[in-house]
A and B are shown apart, each in its own frame.
Chain A
Amino acid sequence: MSLETILFYFFASICAVTSVLVVVRREPVFSALFLVLNFASLAGIYVTLYAQFIAVVQVIVYAGAIMVLFLFVIMLLRPEKEKSIFSGNPTLQKLSIGVGVLVFFQLIYIIIAGTISSGKSVAAEQRIRTGEVEFIGRELITNYLLPFESIAFLLLAATIGALVISKKKFE
């Protein structure tokens, strides 16, 4: 077993266990902290896939900024009632477990039955280079120029929208 495979199984098992824990913990703060661990192990998987830049972004943006925001929201809102969302509604609980199991086995079936395209085989140096910031930057302003420019308008609209919803003074 190569080092890559060992690392993959290591991160993947952390990822799977923590995502279950996020759902089953009753205390929202614990769930949020397990989510941080989940994001960090995902970043590890990205590194084994030669996507260093995505891994760094994953840690900074998701595990860092967004999770701090999550914790602040939990701290300010104190969602006590949400702890017992299922206890008042056992049908909902059964239904969600049923749907979850269904989707799980469906995915297992697809993974076993499906033949994923092997893709192009690329040399290791080339694969390492594709994960670097320089390569991603060059792709963004050549092949992906149009999506890059359109995202600018998307962010502009989102900013204006957020300001209208939250800050606009209504006389």
Chain B
Amino acid sequence: MNLTSTDYLNILPLLLVGAGILISLTVEMYSKKSVGFLSWFSFLLHLLVAYYSLYTVNNVSSVFGGMMGTGGTVNIFYFIFNFGAAIVALLSMDYIKKAEIYFGEYYILLQSAVLGMMLMASATDLVMVFIGLELMSICFYVLAGFQRKNVRSNEASLKYFLLGSFTTGFIVYGMALIYGASGSLNIQSIFSMLSAESTPILFYVGTLLFIIGFCFKIAAFPFHMWVPDVYQGAPTSVTAMMSTIGKAAAFSALLLIMLPLIGSKNPQTFTPLFTVLSAASMIFGSIVALAQTDIKRMLAYSSIAHAGYMLIGLAAANDTGASGIVFYLAAYAFMNLGAFGIVSLIEGNGDTEGTIESYAGLSDRNPLLAGLLALFMFTLSGLPPFAGFFGKYYVFIASLEAGNVWIAVLGALSSAISAYFYLRIIVVMYFRKSDVASDNIITESHTSLLGIVISAILVIMMGLTPGSIVRLINSF
């Protein structure tokens, strides 16, 4: 297997992140005070890779003998992961001091998780999907339990690890059945099977298990049990990463399986399954989020509901749906990163500091943060001028094109329900005077603020020019 110089240029994002991990490891080993350097190094590395992947987005090719693809949607996913990780690095700089996890390993694991996501998004072979998934998940298990002295963090890590390994079993079993049915692990040749006259039932069972496993990773309804506890217990900067780019990575693997179906003769094979999953996730997430008093738990349930909206795009099984999901993932990543960034600034060290009540009177104490959080809440609820609205718009349109009207109606209904709990936070911030929570000190952090402002700018920009972004995604 010989790689030409063009191939090397195409896989440069992976090489850069890989080299970055090794450099960080060496620096961390030989220097006692490396954390400050590593944080800026991770930020610049991921920013550079994000820029490079968008710059070379047109270089569509297949390398390593059909093991992975480059360019096109793959590079757009690279951009989402790396830009998200750069923002996470900014948000972490002061937060990990406050959370008492000021260690260099934090950034090494962060970079490794991103490498896993990139491998998963670029895979065209089931072996690579599995390795990428494991690399990402193992880093997340450890990062979730980084606050070793905190019981909740330990609980989050253990719960995530046990349930995560259990579902990895589902995914591997599914892959084994797919291999048994088709005799290949390459996704293109697996799906050329589908155009044959009769598809063996083993193939459907295998794909079903594969989908169930990834529904756990994206936090869709019947497989969501871990989400609230893990999101609440993990350090907030880690939650921000898991809930945004981690979800995007799991969706990239699902898209990988579903994209070859779009061109096939029976594209709507899995539509009933995805429709039920998406309806259940939307309704469950929105209704249970209404009852939450802790902001991290509320965002966790809202994350379940958002997984439901994105699944509408998969249920539609057309090109509009696919590009809608990618747009939605990018929009969701940046708005949720911003929201969790603000949460990480406001929360204290105790267990009771994350309640929604502690946001009372925030508009008086810190008008800038209150304004930014209001903006993120508006866009999460899907109000028009921001990115969140267009994400929902494209998946709903895709579902109407596919003739699946009622799920779009259900989605709109669920958005209306969810508007209540997003707007409640704005009401608490602006119209309620703080009584007990006034001693809740807001952390001063310029880097976190920078990360939050970048997210806000992206959310507004994606809301102003959604068409050109979707056209870019659609052109591949």
- List A residues at the B interface (Cβ < 8 Å): 110, 113-117, 119-120, 142-147, 150-151, 153-154, 156-158, 160-161, 163-165, 168, 170
Since A143-B1, A156-B21, A157-B139 are in contact, a sample of 6 more A-B pairs with Cβ atoms closer than 8 Å, ordered by chain A residue number, is: A115-B200, A145-B64, A153-B115, A165-B157, A168-B105, A170-B149
Contacts A/B (CB < 8 Å), 13 sampled: A110-B205, A117-B182, A142-B1, A145-B64, A146-B64, A147-B131, A153-B115, A156-B25, A157-B138, A157-B139, A160-B112, A161-B139, A165-B145
* B residues near A156, Cβ cutoff 8 Å: 21, 25, 112
Contact call B64/A150, Cβ cutoff below 8 A: no
Pair B105/A160 contact, Cβ less than 8 Å: yes
Pairwise interchain contact A146-B105, C-beta atoms closer than 8 A: no
A-binding residues in B (CB < 8 A): 1, 18, 21, 25, 64-65, 67-68, 100, 103, 105, 108-109, 112-113, 115-116, 119, 125, 127-128, 131-132, 134-135, 138-139, 141-142, 145-146, 148-149, 157, 180-183, 198, 200-202, 205
Chain A residue numbers with a CB within 8 Å of B116 are 153-154, 157
Flag if B202 contacts A146 (CB, 8 Å). no
Measured between beta carbons, the chain B residues less than 8 angstroms from A147 are 67, 125, 127-128, 131
Query: Assuming A110-B205, A143-B65, A146-B64, is B183 touching A154 (CB within 8 A)?
Result: no
Asked whether A146 lies within 8 Å of B128 as measured between CB atoms, the reply is yes
> Which chain B residues border A154 with CB–CB below 8 Å?
116, 131, 134-135, 138
Q: How far is the CB of A114 from chain B (nearest CB, A)?
A: 4
With A and B bound together, what is the CA distance between A156 and B25 in angstroms? Answer: 10
Find the residue from A114, A150, A165, A168 having the highest chain B CB count within 10 A. A150
Contact A161 B141 (CB under 8 A): yes
Closest chain B CB from A113 CB (angstroms): 6
Question: In whole Å, how far is B112's beta carbon from the nearest beta carbon of chain A?
Answer: 4
Q: A160 to B109, Cβ gap below 8 A?
A: yes
Q: Are A116 and B134 in contact (CB under 8 A)?
A: no
Complex-state Cα separation, A130 to B103, whole angstroms: 46
Minimum CB–CB distance for A121 against chain B, Å: 12
Known: A117-B180, A146-B68. A158 touches B138 (CB 8 A): yes
Write the nearest CB–CB distance from A147 to chain B, whole angstroms.
5
Question: How far apart sit A149 and B65, CA to CA, in the bound complex (Å)?
Answer: 14
Q: Which residues of B contact A116 (CB under 8 A)?
A: 180-181, 200, 202
Known contacts A116-B181, A117-B181: does B202 contact A110 (CB below 8 Å)?
A: yes
Query: Which residues does chain A contribute within 8 Å of B119, judged by CB atoms?
Result: 150
**Nearest Cβ on chain B to A79's Cβ, whole angstroms:** 16
CA distance A142 to B3 in the complex (A): 12
Q: Are A157 and B65 in contact (CB under 8 A)?
A: no
Of all chain B residues, which has the CB nearest A157?
Answer: B112
In the complex, the chain A residue whose C-beta lies closest to that of B68 is A146
A158 to B115, CA, bound (A): 14
A66 vs chain B, min Cβ distance (A)? 15
Asked if A153 and B112 sit within 8 Å, CB to CB, the answer is yes
Q: Knowing A147-B128, A150-B135, A157-B112, say if A164 contacts B200 (CB, 8 Å).
A: no
A164 contacts across to B, CB distance below 8 A: 103, 105, 109, 142, 146
Q: Which residues of A contact B182 (CB under 8 A)?
A: 117
- A15 to B297: give the CA distance in the assembly, Å: 45
Instruction: Report the 9 A-B pairs with minimum CB-CB distance, sorted nearest first.
Output: A161-B142, A157-B112, A146-B64, A114-B202, A146-B67, A154-B135, A150-B131, A114-B201, A147-B127
Q: Is the CB of B183 within 8 A of A119?
A: yes
What's the Cα separation between A168 and B108 when bound, in Å? 15
Q: In the bound complex, do residue A170 and residue B148 qualify as a contact, i.e. CB atoms below 8 Å apart? A: yes
Which of B64, B109, B202 makes the CB contact (< 8 A) with A161? B109
CA distance A119 to B182 in the complex (A): 9
A158 vs B141: C-alpha distance when bound (angstroms): 10
On whether the beta carbons of A151 and B131 are closer than 8 Å, the reply is yes
Query: A10 to chain B: closest CB distance in Å?
Result: 23
Cα A163 to Cα B112 with chains together (Å) = 15
Q: A146-B68, A154-B134, A160-B109 are in contact. Are A165 and B127 (CB under 8 A)?
A: no
Q: Please, how many angstroms separate the alpha-carbon atoms of A8 and B67 in the complex?
A: 34
